[in-house]
Amino acid sequence: MSQHWLSIIGIGEDGLNGLSPAARTLIDQAEVLAGGERHLAMVPGTQAEQLVWTSPFAANLERLEAMRGRKVCVLASGDPQWFGVGVTIARHIPTAEITVLAQPGAFSLAAARLGWGLQDCACLTIHGRPLDGLSLHLHPGARLLVLSENAASPAKLAALLTAKGWGRARITVLERLGGPLERIFSGTAEDWNVPAGEDLNTVAVELAQGPVLSRLAGLPDGAFIHDGQLTKREVRAVTLATLAPWPGALLWDVGAGCGSIAVEWARAGGRSVAIEQIPARLDMIARNAAELGVPHALEIVAGKAPDALDGLDIPNAVFIGGGATVPGLLERCWDALAPGGRLAANAVTLEGEARLIAWQAANGGELSRVAVSRLGKTGRFQSWHPLMPVTHYCGIKP
C-alpha cells in the first residue's frame, strides 16, 4: 500500500483546465473521487467511484478512512488548507498519508482583482460560523475578505455593518472568481440594495470611519450589557494584564456575571468558558459575546462552582470574580490549572480579602489593592467618587 493513498486537489471555477499535470494525473488515476456535487461535476466521464459529501460532514471522515489502501482523490475549492476541507481531514488522517495540491483560493483571487495586498487583509469566513464574529475586526482602515455562507450573506453583512455604525463601509461582492461566470459589483453598506446573486461569492469590505473598540483590555463599562455585576473597567484592565492572555489559551471565568473578563480574554485571541449560575446573566453573557465579536470563542456553562467545573477542558488561566470564600473553590481551580497557568481572583469584602491573604501566604503569588475614583457631580460642583477598593490576587502555578 502506498503511504500517500489520499490526495486533496484544489480546483477552481476554471475546472480541469486550470490544474497542473500532477493534479490531473492524481485525478485520472483515482479509484475514488470524493467531494461536493459541484466539484464532482467538473470531472465528466470519470470511471472512478464517487463519494459525494453528506451532512453532517463528520460522517464523511469515517467513510474516507474506510477506504485506506485505495487511491482516493478529494476535490476541494481553491486552497484546501485555508478554511477548507483539507484542514478538517488532516485532523483525522495523518498528514504522512496525504498529498495536497492547492490552487489560488478565493482570498488570493479577490486580492488580485482589487489590487489589495493580501498580507494587509483580515481573511475571514462566515461559512458555518456566526456573522457576529466579524465585529471583532472592525476598525478604521481595515480591509476584510470574507467567505460567504450563501447568496444572502452580502446583504446580511451590510446590515450588520450599518447597525454597528459602519454604514459608510464599501462592500464589493466577487462571484464565481476565476471562471467564465465571474461577476464583481460594489456599493456602500448603508445603501445596499443589490439583489442576491450567486451562492459562491466572496465579500470584500473596506472600512473608513466608525466606532472603535480596542482589543486591548479595559473596554468601557457601557460596552457590556450588565445588571451591575461587572468588573469595572480599570480593575478589568489590571486583571486581564495579570492573566496575560495569548491566542488559543483557555480561560475559566468562574462566577462570570455578565462575562466581561471572558469576553475581553476572547477578544485578545483566547478561548473562554464562562461559568455562571443566574439564568438572566447567562443571557447577558451570550449577548455580550455576540455584540463584541467573539460568539465562536466563548462557551457558557450554567451552574455553581466548584461542581460546575467538572468535565471542563484544562485551563491555562482561571479568574474568580466572586466566590473566593466558597469552600474548596480556590483549591479546585488551582489543581485544574495547566503547569505555568495563572490564577487571578478579586475580592471586595473583608472575608474575601482575608481568604486571599491566607491563600497567598500558603501558596505564594502577588497581592495588590486597586482603588479607583471617578469624577462626578456633587451638587453644583464636581468631585472624586471612589469605587469599592478591590483586593487582587495573581499566582502562577509551577
Class of domain 6-103: alpha beta
For residue 229, the model assigns a pLDDT of 87
For residue 2, the model assigns a pLDDT of 53
As a whole number of angstroms, the distance between CA 234 and CA 212 comes to 18
Q: Walk along the chain (398 residues) in steps of 10 and give the mean pLDDT of each run.
A: 84 92 95 94 93 91 92 95 93 94 95 97 95 96 97 97 97 94 96 91 96 94 94 97 97 97 98 97 97 97 96 98 93 97 97 97 97 95 96 97
Element (H, E) at 357: helix 350-363
Residue 358 phi, psi (nearest 5): -65, -40
As a whole number of angstroms, the distance between CA 206 and CA 196 comes to 20
For residue 76, the model assigns a pLDDT of 95
7 three-class SS: strand
The answer to whether 107-206 and 221-396 have equal CATH topology is no
221-396 maps to CATH 3.20.20.140 = no
For residue 1, the model assigns a pLDDT of 43
For residue 186, the model assigns a pLDDT of 96
**Backbone CA torsion sign across 121, 126, 127, 130:** positive
Kindly provide the residue ranges of all beta strands, DSSP E only, lying in 12-169, ordered along the sequence: 32-35, 49-52, 72-77, 98-101, 122-125, 143-147
Residues 6 or more apart whose CB falls under 8 angstroms from that of 169 comprise: 161, 188, 189, 205, 206, 207, 208, 210
What are the sequence ranges of the domains in the chain? 6-103, 107-206, 221-396
Query: Residue 174: beta bridge partners?
Result: 184, 202
Contact (CB, 8 A) for 365 and 342: no
Grid cell, residue 313, equals: 477542558
- Residue count of the chain: 398
113-116 long-range contacts, Cβ below 8 Å, gap at least 24? Answer: 113/174, 113/177, 113/184, 114/172, 114/204, 116/143, 116/145, 116/204
For residue 269, the model assigns a pLDDT of 96
What's the fold here for domain 107-206? Answer: 3.30.950
